[in-house]
Amino acid sequence: MSSTIEKIQEQINGNPILLYMKGTPRMPQCGFSAQTVQALMACGERFAFVNILENPDIRAELPKFANWPTFPQLWVKGELVGGCDIVVEMATNGELQTLIKEAAPQEEE
């Protein structure tokens, strides 16, 4: 197994909510990443991200690993949720908020 795949696996396992995207949440580098970030931010929970433009090895390997050809890719609790269209649709019908709230680390009171 390549070290890139191991790195991807560690990122996915180590972050309950993880977005592989082009750019950063503050500076998305494509419209699809921007829409996905907006939908995620509307859920009000923190999420991790990986800028694939700065990680060409991950950009090359993740589509094969995930069996999903495009970016962005949203991973929640180790499972691929999908890309922009799926995330935006889930945000519209309320599923995304539920999924993200359940996945977010609970703050100790």
State yes or no: 84 annotated in a binding site.
yes
Strands 17-21 and 48-51, sheet pairing: parallel
Tokens matching residue 30: 């494509």
State yes or no: 22 annotated in a binding site.
yes
State yes or no: 26 annotated in a binding site.
no
DSSP 3-state of 51? strand
Which among 31, 29, 15 is positioned nearest to 75, based on CA atoms?
Answer: 15
State yes or no: 59 annotated in a binding site.
yes
State yes or no: 71 annotated in a binding site.
yes
State yes or no: 30 annotated in a binding site.
yes
Binding-site residues for glutathione: 22, 59, 71, 84-85
Binding-site residues for [2Fe-2S] cluster: 30
Binding-site residues: 22, 30, 59, 71, 84-85
